[in-house]
Amino acid sequence: MTSVLRISLIVILMLGDAPLIAQVCINEFMASNGAYWDNDKQAYSDWIELYNAGDDTVQLSGYFLTDNLDRLKKWKIPEGVAIGPKAHILFWADGKNHGMHTNFNLSIRTESLGLSDATGKPVDTHTYLSQRRDVSFGREEDGSGAWVFFEQHTAGGTNNWAPRSESGKRASRPSFSLNGGFYKDKQKVELTSVASGDIKYTLDGSDVNYESEIYKEPILITSTTTLRAKLYTSYRLASYQVTETYFIGLEPKLPIISITTDPKNLWDRDMGIYVNGTNYVKDKWYTANYLKYWRRPSNIEFFEADGSLGFNASARIKIFGIYTSQYGQKPLTLYFNDVVNHKIFPNRDTYNYQTLVVRNSGQDWIRTLICDGLVNSLVINSLDLDAQAYRPAVVYINGKYWGINNIREKLDESYIFERHGTDPSNVLLKGRNNSKKVTEYNELIAYATNESISLNERCAYIAEHIDVNEFLNYQMTEIYSANRDWPNNNMKVWKRKGDSKWRWVLVDLDVSFGIWNNTQPHENTLQRATDPAIINTELLSVLLDNEYFKNDFIQRVALSLNTIFSEERVNHFIDSLASDIRHQIPNHVERWKDSCSWSCGIESVEFWEHYLNKLRYFADHRMQFMREHLTQKFKLTGLSELTIKAENGRVVLNELDWPFNPSGLYFNNVPMSLVAIPKPGYKFVRWKGGLHGDSPRVEITLKGPLTLEAEFEPDLGTLLPMHITENTVLDKQGSPYYAVGNITVNPGVLLSAEAGIKILMPEKGHLIIKGGLNFRGAKGDSIEIAANSGAGSTSWGAICLDSASLPVMISYTVVKDATHGEDKRVYVGAVGGHHSDLTIHDSRIDDVFGQPVYTEYGSTAIRYTKMHTKISSDIVNVKYGKAIIEYCDLQGNNQPNSDGIDYDNIVDGIIRGNNIYNFTGGNSDGIDLGEGAIDVFIDKNRIVNCSDKGISVGQKSTAKIFRNVIIGCNQGVGIKDSSSFAIIDKCVFYRNNVAIAVFEKNNNHGGGDARVTNTIISQSKNASVQVDEYSSLDITYSLSDMDLMKGEGNLYADPMFQSPGTGEFTLRDESPCLNSGTRKSFLDLGKARNQMGLGVAEKKIKVHLVYYLILGALGMAGMYAFGK
Whole-angstrom distance, CA of residue 994 vs CA of residue 40: 44
* Average pLDDT of the chain to the nearest whole number: 90
Q: Which pLDDT score is estimated for 1112?
A: 40
Q: Could you give the CA distance from residue 119 to residue 131 in angstroms, rounded to a whole number?
A: 31
CA 194/CA 187 separation, integer angstroms: 23
The DSSP letter of residue 907 is B
Is pLDDT above 80 for 424? no
Q: At what angle do helices 585-592 and 567-582 cross, to 10 degrees?
A: 70
* Residue/partner pairs of 340-346 with CB below 8 Å, 24 or more apart: 340/302, 340/311, 340/313, 341/311, 341/825, 342/302, 342/310, 342/311, 343/825, 344/302, 344/310, 344/389, 344/391, 344/407, 345/389, 345/390, 345/391, 345/407, 345/409, 346/391
Among 112-126, 145-159, 419-433, 624-638, the minimum mean pLDDT is found in 419-433
Cα-based torsion angle of the residue sequence 481, 482, 488, 491 in order, rounded to the nearest 10 degrees: 0
Identity of the residue numbered 351: Y
Residue 909 pLDDT exceeds 80: yes
- Alpha-carbon span 442 to 455, nearest angstrom: 18
Mark whether 705 and 744 lie in a shared domain.
no
- Nearest-angstrom CA–CA distance, 332 and 274: 10
Residue type, 157: G
User: Which of 38-47, 93-102, 213-222, 1078-1087 is least confident?
Assistant: 1078-1087
* CA angle in degrees (0–180, nearest 5) for 504-508-513: 110
Mean pLDDT of 501-517: 91
Q: How many domains is the chain partitioned into structurally?
A: 6
Identify whether residues 577 and 661 lie together within a single domain.
no
> Cβ-count burial of 58 within 10 angstroms (0-12 exposed, 13-18 middle, 19+ buried)?
buried
Owning domain of residue 261: 256-408
Let me know: does 106 contact 114? Beta carbons within 8 Å. no
Residue 1059 has pLDDT above 80, yes or no: yes
- Note the pLDDT tens digit of each residue in 137-187: 999 999 998 999 998 899 999 999 888 888 888 999 999 999 999 999 999
Is residue 1050 situated within a structural domain?
no
Query: Would residue 1019 count as lying in a domain?
Result: no
- Indicate whether 709 and 745 sit together in one domain: no
Q: Is the pLDDT of residue 41 over 90?
A: no
Task: State yes or no: pLDDT of 530 exceeds 50.
Answer: yes
Residue 459 belongs to some domain of the structure: yes
Same domain flag for 730 and 786: yes
Q: Do residues 982 and 998 touch, judged by C-beta distance below 8 A?
A: no
SS3 label, residue 764: coil
Other CB atoms within a 10 A radius of the CB of residue 1078 amount to 17
Tens digits of residue pLDDT in 577-618: 999 999 999 999 999 999 887 788 999 999 999 999 999 999
Backbone angles phi, psi at 478, to 5 degrees: -65, -40
Give the model's confidence band at 969: pLDDT under 50 very low, under 70 low, under 90 confident, else very high. very high
Q: Are residues 196 and 275 in the same domain?
A: no
pLDDT digits (tens, 9 = 90+) for 765-792: 999 999 999 999 999 999 999 999 988 8
CA–CA dist 184, 307 (Å, integer): 12
Termini Cα distance of the chain? 14
Q: Return the pLDDT at 469.
A: 97
384, 408, 432: which is the final residue of a domain?
Answer: 408
- Residue 17: pLDDT band (50, 70, 90) is very low
Residue 834 is inside which H or E element, if any? Answer: strand 829-841
897 in any annotated domain: no
Q: Are 332 and 400 within one domain?
A: yes
Say yes or no to pLDDT of 316 above 60: yes
Query: Percent of the chain at pLDDT above 70?
Result: 93
Same domain, 445 and 326: no
Q: 1116 falls in which pLDDT band (50, 70, 90)?
A: very low
Alpha-carbon distances of 99 from 29, 36, 59, 76, 83, rounded to whole Å: 18, 18, 16, 10, 15
Q: Which of 714, 732, 754 is the last residue in one of the domains? A: 714
Same domain, 181 and 228: yes
Q: pLDDT category, 1105, cuts 50, 70, 90?
A: very low
Q: Which residue type sits at 802?
A: D
In this structure, are strands 58-59 and 82-83 parallel, antiparallel, or unpaired? Answer: antiparallel
pLDDT confidence tier of residue 801, bands split at 50, 70 and 90 = very high
pLDDT of residue 1115: 44
How far apart (Å, rounded) are the C-alpha atoms in residues 368 and 510?
Answer: 9
pLDDT band at 431 (very low <50, low <70, confident <90, very high): low
CA angle 216/222/227 to nearest 5° reads 55
Q: Residue 203 — pLDDT band, cuts 50, 70, 90?
A: very high
In sequence order, what E strands does 564-715 have? 639-645, 649-653, 664-667, 672-678, 682-689, 697-700, 706-714
Beta carbons within 8 Å of 638's beta carbon, 6+ residues apart: 631, 667, 668
> Does residue 1103 fall inside a structural domain?
no
CA distance linking residue 726 with residue 906, whole number of Å: 34
Whether residue 1071 contacts residue 1055, with contact meaning beta carbons closer than 8 Å, is answered with: yes
If asked whether residues 394 and 522 sit together in one domain, one would say no
Domain identity same for 116 and 156: yes
Residue 791 in any domain: the answer is yes
Write out the DSSP string of 401-462. EEEEEEEE---SHHHHHHHH---GGGEEEEESS--SS-HHHHHHHHHHT-TTS-HHHHHHHH
- Please say if the pLDDT value at position 888 is more than 90: yes
Over the stretch 688-706, which tens digit does the pLDDT of each residue have? Answer: 998 889 999 999 999 999 9
pLDDT value of position 1004 = 63
Per-residue pLDDT tens for 235-293? 899 999 999 999 999 999 999 999 999 999 999 999 999 999 999 998 888 899 999 98
- The predicted pLDDT at position 1031 comes to 87
Strand partners, 175: 192
Domain boundary among 634, 667, 701: 634
Lowest mean pLDDT among 18-27, 427-436, 524-533, 1112-1121: 1112-1121
Q: Which amino acid is at 100?
A: M
Whether residue 838 is contained in a domain is answered as: yes
pTM for the model: 0.82
Alpha-carbon span 861 to 261, nearest angstrom: 49
Could you tell me if 775 and 823 lie in one domain? yes
Query: 50, 25 in Cβ contact below 8 A?
Result: yes
- Chain-centroid distance of CA 157 in Å reads 41
In a domain, 1081, yes or no: no
- For residues 120 and 48, state if they share a domain: yes
